[in-house]
Amino acid sequence: MINSATQLWPVHVQLLGSIALELNKHGVSTATLLAGTEVTEAILFDSEKTLPYRTAQSILNNAIDLSPIPHLAFVVAAQQSPSSLGVFGYGINCCANLREAVEIAKAYRRVSSTLLLGQLEEDSCYFRWTATPPTELGALKQFLVEEEFSTVIHTTEILVGEPFQIKEIHVQHTKPEYSDLYDEIFRCPIIYSSDSNQIVLPKHILDTPILNANPLSSKTAKRLCEDFLTQNPTVDDLILKVRQFTLQEPYFELNESAVAGKLNITTRTLRNRLKIQGTSYREIVDGLREDIAKNQLGNEYISLSNIAEQTGYSDTRAFRRAFKRWTEVTPEAFRNQILKP
């Protein structure tokens, strides 16, 4: 369940740059990938840059839509190595053993390009690495889980210099058409449609030494990771809060100024902070109106005038114009399409 006090964080561009290069091989330009954002190619390929979480999310959603291959996450993960993961990879590469590397991953995972939260649990026989999104991600969650789990396995085998046996993998999504790749990459039972996204490993694996262990360098890496976290703190998910306040009043009666007041900030500050996250108050409200309208149009007994009122429009004509702007079809056409037998 997503907490209403969702915390997001700046995301390193490393993963996004790798995805862009892979899509280039399939004829998808980086400019097309970045469409709809204010991110430039220069930013995307600058290893020192970070992007707001929501901006990274938008680019990754574009990648999923544009990719001609459904298993893009696995292809990108196979190209990763500790050295390609920046200071985070440097840190885990210097650890004495996998236990220390896992602790580094737990403490400093935000220094990588992840959009997922991580949790480590142990019992007498196994340890479990669970990945969960900090906010609703829709179809993107499957991509991120595939990329993270396959990167974990691939880079860990590089760290220790040999394959190791996984007990099982749990994923919340259904079995994909490329499930043979799951068998090839993870070499263990895969539990689809599970209640969590989890890697389960025998506990003794944590004692496996890392080939390039260097205690002095490990201390330096930890300090650099701490510096990054200090300079790039998590932030409240402003978009989620704006949506919640907007929906608290019927018929979208709250305006931008009123929502800013509930957040104890000025309207100008609200606009600037939303712009940083790649959106605006109008875009958020239009998205809510569109969601409500589509849902209500699925009920043939609810009139267009009633839906117009629910979505904050004074008349049906204004609602029709707005709905066509959102979806490129009229409300009547949309209703006919979803209700036809």
Give me the pLDDT at residue 235, please. Answer: 73
Q: CATH for 7-231, among 3.40.190, 3.40.630, 3.90.1520, 1.20.1300? A: 3.90.1520
Which of 103-117, 163-177, 267-281 is predicted with the least confidence, judged by mean pLDDT? Answer: 267-281
The per-residue pLDDT for 299 is: 87
Higher pLDDT, 250 or 34: 34
Per-residue pLDDT, 314? 87
pTM metric for this prediction = 0.74
Beta strands 168-170 and 190-191, pairing class: parallel
Examine the pLDDT at 214 and tell me if it is beyond 50.
yes
Residue 175 DSSP symbol: P
219-259 pLDDT, tens digit each? 898 898 999 888 888 877 788 788 888 888 888 888 999 99
- Rounded to a whole number of angstroms, the CA Rg of the chain reads 23
Angle at the Cα of 275 from the Cα atoms of 274 and 278, rounded to 5 degrees: 95
Q: Quote the Cα angle for 246-247-249, to 5°.
A: 85
Domain-wise residue ranges, the chain: 7-231, 237-339
What tokens appear for 137 in the block? 């991600």
- CA atoms of 223 and 144, how far apart (whole Å): 27
Tally the C-alpha atoms within 13 A of residue 193's C-alpha that lie toward its C-beta: 3
DSSP letter for 171, please.
-
**So what's the pLDDT on residue 248?**
80
Whole-angstrom distance, CA of residue 126 vs CA of residue 237: 34
Does the pLDDT value for residue 4 go beyond 50? no
**Per mean pLDDT, which range of 1-5, 49-53, 167-171, 293-297 is the poorest?**
1-5
What end-to-end distance do the CA atoms of the chain give, in Å?
34
CB 203 within 8 A of CB 127: yes
CATH number for the domain formed by residue range(s) 237-339 = 1.10.10.60
Residue 78: pLDDT over 70: yes
